[in-house]
Structure 1
Amino acid sequence: MPQITVDYSADLADDFDRPGFAKALHEATVEIAAAKPPACKTRFRPTEDIVVGPEAEGHSHVHVHLALLAGRTEETKARLTEAALELLRTYLKPAAGIVLHASAEVRDLDPSYRKFEG
């Protein structure tokens, strides 16, 4: 915990400092949501195809999913999503002419969530 997944348009790969973003988001998650630094885990999933409205060209998408153990207030979750979006502005610079659609959400992990380290 937290489990962070970032889905992003594959055409953004060269314009997205993913390690820098993950490190900064981990720091924000520790500060805002009281997570423990070694517990922060982020995976990035490139998406080959994206269609926005009627158009398949000229648009890119990034969505940040943050899953935390239950107990954070709605205010804390909102602060964390805002921080994620602000960090995207810093670590992602899409090419000229690309319309970027960025979003983020924080949700509670299901009570069945378990983990182990080996």
Structure 2
Amino acid sequence: MPQITVEYSARLAGMFDRRAFALALHADASALIDSTLGSFKTRFHRLDDVVIGAGAETDLMVHVDLAILPGRSRDLKQKLGQTALDLLVRHLGEVAGNTVQATVEVRDLAGADYHKQVVR
């Protein structure tokens, strides 16, 4: 926990500093939700086929799904979502004539069904 999945339009690959985004999000969010830095896991999925609105090639998207263990207040989740969105936009860099829809969803993991083991 937390489990973070980022989906992004393939055309953003050269514009989106994914590693820097993940590291910044891990650091900021760990303090916000009182979770250890080593517990954060982020995976990125490049999307080759994305259609937004009328389908213009310059309409791109990036979406962050941030799943945390239950028990945090709605206010804390809203603050976490806004923090993630601000970091996301900051790490997009110059989008060079494109329009990017950046979105974040913060949700609870199904606590009773979440299992973890660290193997060394």
**Aligned pairs, number:** 118
Moved over 6 A (4+): none
Q: Measure how far apart 1:48 and its partner are.
A: 0.5
What is the CA distance between 1:55 and its match in structure 2? Answer: 1.3
TM-fit CA distance, 1:95: 2.9
Q: Distance in 2 between matches of 1:21 and 1:102?
A: 13
User: Which runs of 5 or more structure 1 residues have no equivalent in the other structure?
Assistant: none
1-structure distance, mates of 2:48, 2:56: 11
What is the Cα-based RMSD across aligned positions, in Å? 1.0
Is the contact made by 2:89 and 2:102 (CA closer than 8 Å) also made in structure 1?
no
Q: For residue 96 of structure 1, what is the aligned residue in structure 2? A: 96
1:18 matched residue in structure 2: 18
Alignment of 1:28-107 (within 5 A): 28-107=28-107
Counterpart residue identity of residue 46, structure 2: P
**Contact in 2 for aligned 1:7/1:64 (Cα 8 Å):** yes
| Identical residues among aligned pairs (%) | 45
TM-score (norm 2): 0.93
TM-score, scaled relative to structure 1: 0.95
| Alignment gaps of 5+ in structure 2 | none
- Separation (CA, whole Å) in 1 of partners of 2:101 and 2:90: 15
